[in-house]
Amino acid sequence: MSETWMGTIPLIGTIVVAFGCWLYMLGGRSGKWRRRFIGALLCATAIWVEALLIGNFSFWMLIAYPMLIASFSLGYGSQFLATKIIKRAVVVLASLTVGLTMCLVLGGTAWWVLPVQVFIAIPTIYLGTRNPVYAAPEEFFVCLLLTECNLMYPFVKGVIANG
C-alpha cells in the first residue's frame, strides 16, 4: 500500500466523521434520530471503512455503533453547573468506551492512542459547560473532539499488515 493512499484513508474517514458530527448538531435542534442513529452510524462507519481498507477489520469493531448510539443519546444539559459537569463527564466516559474497545480488539500500540483520546475528550466537559462558542458549532466541535481519535485506531502499529 502506498504512503499516499495510507495518508488519504484518514482524510476520507475524517470527512465521514465530520458529516456525522454535522448530523449530531442537527439532532440537537430537532429530530434526535439524526444524531443518535445516523450520526453515530457515520462515525462508526468511518472506523470500519478505514479498518477494511487497511486490512485489519474485526467483527468486534461493529460494537462501536451501539456504543456511539448510547453516547449520542445521553442528555447533558442542566440548570445547575455541578449536574451539567457530571452529565458531560458521563458523555465523555461513554464516548471513550469506543476507544477502550478498539484497544481490546486491536492491542498493539492502540493503548498509546487511548491517553491521547482521553486528553482531547476531557476538555469537552469545559466546552459544554462554559459554552464559549454558539451552541450549534459547539455541538459539532464537541462531537468531533469526542470521535476524532477513533479514526487512529485502525492504523496502530503491530496490526497493519504493512506497518
Q: How far is Cα of residue 137 from the mean position of the Cα atoms in its chain? A: 16
Kindly indicate the confidence band of residue 163, based on its pLDDT and cuts at 50, 70 and 90. Answer: very low
pLDDT interval class at 128 (50, 70, 90): confident
Q: Quote the CA–CA distance of 129 and 72 in Å, as a whole number.
A: 17
The predicted model scores a pTM of: 0.91
> What is the model's pLDDT at position 100?
97
* Per-chain mean pLDDT for the chain: 93
Domain ranges of the chain: 3-155
Instruction: Say how far apart CA 20 and CA 69 lie, in whole Å.
Output: 12
Task: Write the pLDDT tens digit of every residue in 84-106.
Answer: 999 999 999 999 999 999 999 99
